Structure 1
Amino acid sequence: MARERFADLPDTLYVWSFPVWKWRYLRRCFPGNRLRFVRSVDAIPARATLILWGLTPIPEGMPPEATILRMEDGFLRSVGLGAELTRPLSWVVDRLGMYYDARTPSELERILSTTEFSNEELERAEHLRAQIVAAGVSKYNVGLGVWQRPAGVERVLIVPGQVESDAAIHSATPCFRGNLELLRRVRAANPDAYIVYKPHPDVEAGLRAAGKREDEADGFCDEVLRGVPMEAVLAVVDEVHTLTSLAGFEGLLRGRKVHCYGQPFYAGWGLTTDHCPIPRRQRRLSLDALVAGTLIRYPTYIGRRGPINVEDALAELIRWKHSHQGRTRWWREPYRWILRRAIGVR
């Protein structure tokens, strides 16, 4: 589906300042196009199509007639963290904005706002959702620990931590931001619930800095949970309380109640409790319509030889996850140490 949206792209695409390790995967994403990797605006002709990563600013001096495409990780990505340069199975490509930037509409928002999904597409989404839940798949599929729901507790809430310096926080949390403030508000509104706080996996791995005063999280929750896969936690909790984390979307897939305190892409469609509403989103969607737009129509899935469909990507992700079950590669900790030194996280 995503490839059909970009059938009109010119033969040559210009790529601005992408990390070298992503180049080969980008070529697989656009197998019918010539890619020119540029670092000077002088190399970009008028009316060029330029690819930027995430919310990278448009380079100064960019020809005003140029078309901008923005790319980011998809929602079923890999077994391992992107920060560790793990091969991606999906990316999203967007002409309008970026799905996590609620300040302006993205192509995903346009798809969700306007598309009349066919019965066949909704059935496909329902089947896809069932496969994801049955296989216990999430975005990164990291963590090997196990966790059991506390016995005799009526309500268990998960609050997923986020990297506070990420664009997803700054561009979609107009009401407030910060992991500790989120925890404080959730605890105040749910004094009798059992609240679990799970730091972001990049923070757990030491690859990104923890949020402001995040070390005080245990003062506002019953348990700080580390080393356990998000999908294993979502399987046994009752509610997800989040700013904009993808864990909220993954919670919806598993039938959990989801409270949004920011403005993630899956909020505003009648499926979540929105504490920071998005007035321009008025349409009510079924869960399968949300899945059809988010996982079928919007991303580009990348196999080893080029684009593939979501079902093939999910099958590969499941095989990948099973082949790595219980394994820790010998180079991971030395590599993480090098990354920590490089980015200044201790």
Structure 2
Amino acid sequence: MANRRFDGSTANTMKNVGIKKAALQMSRYVLASKQVQRALKLLGLPASRANEVSGIPKPADTSLSFPGYEAFALHGEAWQAAGEQKPIILMFGVHPWKRDVLARYFSDFRVAYVRTNTSWTKVQTSFCQFTPQAFVFWGMTEIRAAKNYAIKSSIPLWRVEDGFLRSVGLGAQHVLPLSLAVDTTGIYFDPSRPSTLETLISEIGVTENATLIERARRCMSMISAFGLSKYNVGQDVPLKRLPPSDRRRVLVVGQVEDDASIVMGCAARYTNNDIVRITQKENPDAEVIYRPHPDVLGGHRKEFSNPRDVANICTILSGDYDLGSLLDSVDHVYTITSLLGFEALIRRKKVTVFGAPFYSGWGLTDDRQPTPRRTAKPSLDELFAAAYILYPRYCVGSLGSSAEIEHAIMSLALEKNGVPRELAEGVSSALPAEAINVDCVSQTLEGLKSIPS
């Protein structure tokens, strides 16, 4: 990524960003870069891109303003001179706090975010200035007028969501993502229609690709070794672990019961308590462990079924558990559509699903909902390669959107083990993807811990 200057001309184009805020961002960026460069030098890694190494967005990534584009919040480098000929995409339903970083995932485009309170008439009037290359919707955001216009005008409709290896911390806490799922057909959690991910999984076994499969195995081993998941609890949170047990254990993964992945991905209407009761009935001799969704326990999302109503037939977990350790401590996982089911597959656990998440219907899970389109029989390695390597985009440190999954895994593993995010991203993005494995991450972590602060 080219180094961006922060000067008077840039400041004049920045909208609603004060000089103090810009100066603060720049100082954080410079300090982070120096910290990264010092670490790289001490670790014996290349450190030639001193002004490019940082997970912190630079001040020029703030909202810009140009005549004729008043209906939009404009973010990203491509709006500056070097990218002025790049095509424009419109994005709908994206919260302001993550617009800067999302623009980095679409570096081949100028990204214009449609403001929430802007009428469609005003948006459409702007098309005398340009023809959008695509309309991009966050999740299942629906703006009927925009969708109808796109279909009538043959403008592609894309959908985006957080990737499967997202961050250390939650999006609800405004933690920025390291990966993004970009689907040009549907979206991975809506099995009612095809998606780019479903097509990738269906076709991945058609031709042999030994290099891709080796990568998949290497990445899965790193995910297991460092206990990674989509959201990783930070190092400042004391994690709980299950005590050893001689009994067979079955884990029920609670979800937010009105979440889009359940509404779209499950034909029947199950509550979490329904799944607990079915699990206990099918496994009468096992210890049934129920992990309610943290957002439900914390009162952040609506509770449709009360965990206390099934307390007599299961062990209910509360608080922050190390998910990798939790999965390692059980024999079988039951869920409706949770990604934790696939994370259990990575750890070679038996998984029962009641909806149709992206990983069901391929012969690897115990499925309670039919998925007639899914006739291929990929291996676990192939399924992982499609879902985690080929499908998402990764954005890490100086590499930006040219980062690979290995860079995200290493950054997450370092950060989860106490390395500041800016340093974790900077160090990870300085390495070639093929050099990153369990030993490399472990040795780097030990090296970083030995560097005096």
Give the TM interval when normalised to the shorter protein: 0.7 to 0.9
1:241 counterpart residue number: 334
Q: Provide the alpha-carbon RMSD of the alignment.
A: 1.9
- Residues 295-342 of structure 1 show CA distances to partners (whole Å, capped at 9, x for unaligned) of 1000011124421110011111111111179xxxxxxxxxxxxxxxxx
- Indicate the residue corresponding to 1:55 in structure 2: 140
The reply on whether 1:24 has 2:95 as its aligned counterpart is: no
Residues 123-162 of structure 1 aligned to structure 2 (within 5 Å): 123-142=214-233, 144-153=238-247, 155-162=248-255
1:273 aligns with 2:380: no
Cα distance in 1 for partners of 2:303, 2:208 equals 40
Deviation at 1:231, TM superposition (A): 1.6
Deviates more, 1:163-172 or 1:36-45: 36-45
- 1:322-337 aligned within 5 A: 322-323=417-418
% identical equivalent positions: 37
Segments of structure 1 that go 5 or more residues without pairing to the other structure are 1-9, 326-346
Within the candidate set 89, 95, 115, 1:13 is matched to: 89
Q: Which amino acid aligns with 2:242?
A: Q
Q: Which residue of 2 aligns with 1:105?
A: 194
Where in structure 2 are there 5+ consecutive unaligned residues?
1-85, 421-453
Cα distance in 2 between the residues matched to 1:198 and 1:61:
40
For the structure 1 residues 145 and 173, does the alpha-carbon distance in structure 2 shift closer, same or farther, using more than 3 Å as the test?
same
Amino acid at match of 1:53: W
Structure 2 CA distance for partners of 1:69 and 1:174, relative to 1, 3 Å: same
Shift, 1:150, TM fit: 4.6
Measure the CA separation in 1 of the matches of 2:376 and 2:203.
Answer: 9
Q: 1:174 aligns with which of 267, 288, 301?
A: 267
SS, match of residue 171 in structure 1? helix
**Counterpart-to-counterpart distance in 2, 1:324 and 1:226:** 23
Any idea what SS the aligned residue of 1:120 has? Answer: helix
Q: Is the CA contact 1:194–1:221 (under 8 Å) kept in the aligned structure 2?
A: yes
TM-score (norm. length: structure 2) = 0.66
Taking the TM superposition and a 5 Å limit, the aligned residue runs for 1:201-280 are: 201-280=294-373
TM-score, normalised to structure 1, is 0.86
Structure with more of its chain in helix, by fraction = 2
Offset, 1:199: 1.4
Counterpart pick for 1:41 among 120, 144, 160: 120
2:265 is paired with a residue whose SS is coil
Give the match's secondary structure for 1:271.
coil
* Residue 79 (structure 1) aligns with: 168
Aligned 8 A contact 1:172 1:263 in 2: yes
Task: Tell me whether 310-319 or 173-182 shows the greater mean CA deviation.
Answer: 173-182
Aligned pair partner of 1:311 in 383, 406, 411: 406
Whether 1:190 aligns to 2:279 is no
The 1-side partners of 2:187 and 2:216 are apart by 22
| Mean CA deviation greater in 229-238 or 196-205 | 196-205
Counterparts of 2:379 and 2:279 in 1: how far apart (Å)?
26
Report SS of the residue matched to 1:148: coil
Instruction: Identify which of structures 1 and 2 has the higher relative contact order when contacts are C-alpha pairs closer than 8 Å and 6+ apart.
Output: 1
Q: Is the 8 A contact 2:217 2:381 kept in 1?
A: yes
CA–CA distance in structure 2, aligned partners of residues 59 and 96 of structure 1: 17
Asked whether the equivalents of residues 73 and 90 of structure 1 are also in contact (C-alpha less than 8 Å), the reply is: yes
* Cα contact 1:199–1:226 (8 A) shared by 2: no
Q: For residues 181 and 324 of structure 1, do their structure 2 counterparts lie closer, same or farther at Cα, with a shift above 3 Å needed?
A: farther
Residues 304 and 208 of structure 1: CA distance in aligned 2, closer, same or farther (over 3 Å): farther
CA distance in 2, matches of 1:286, 1:121: 13
Alignment: residue pair count:
315
Partner Cα separation in structure 2 for residue 210 and residue 267 of structure 1? 26
Structure 1 range deviating more: 56-65 or 94-103: 56-65
Where 1:219 maps in the other structure, the secondary structure is: coil
In 1, Cα distance between the equivalents of 2:101 and 2:310? 38
Using the TM superposition, name which of 185-194 and 217-226 deviates more.
Answer: 217-226
Alpha-carbon distance between aligned partners in 1 of 2:181 and 2:208, rounded to the nearest angstrom: 20
Partner of 2:209: 118
The equivalent residue for 1:320 is 415
Summarize deviations over 1:71-127 as a string: whole Å, max 9, x none. 101110011111111111111000111101111111100000112351110011011
C-alpha separation between the residues in 2 aligned to 1:28 and 1:298?
Answer: 17
